[in-house]
Amino acid sequence: MPTYEHICHECQHEWEDIYKMNDSVPDVCPNCQTKGKVQRLISAPGKGKVELYGQELTQQLRKEGKDLAKELYRSESKTADFYGF
């Protein structure tokens, strides 16, 4: 059976489910229990998760940190959201 990815548009929770192609898409979020806000996502077949270790992980975290800093610098509202103001 295929694995499907889903997102809840109410709480932004993402998860995976395994069910038959003919089965209906779940319509209740397992996180917030909201009904009717769930969407099945389209994902690339055969594309798996890659875990980074050591120097590759350090480089990726530095890049993400720099990208976040640039984004926060450009937008006051994002900065306020980030720091909880």
Q: What is the DSSP secondary structure assignment for residue 17, as one 8-state letter?
A: E
7 and 30 in a single domain? The answer is: yes
Domain that holds residue 18: 3-41
Structural domains counted in the chain: 2
Q: Taking the complete model, does pTM exceed 0.85, yes or no? A: no
**Is 14 domain-assigned?**
yes
Q: Which residues lie closer than 8 Å to 30 by C-beta, 6 or more apart?
A: 13, 15
Predicted pLDDT of residue 25: 84
Beta strands 3-8 and 38-41: pairing type?
Answer: antiparallel
If the chain, 85 residues long, is cut into consecutive pieces of 10 residues, what is the mean pLDDT of each piece?
A: 86 90 88 92 64 82 88 80 74
What does the alpha-carbon distance between residue 85 and residue 80 come to, in Å, rounded to a whole number? 5
**Is 18 domain-assigned?**
yes
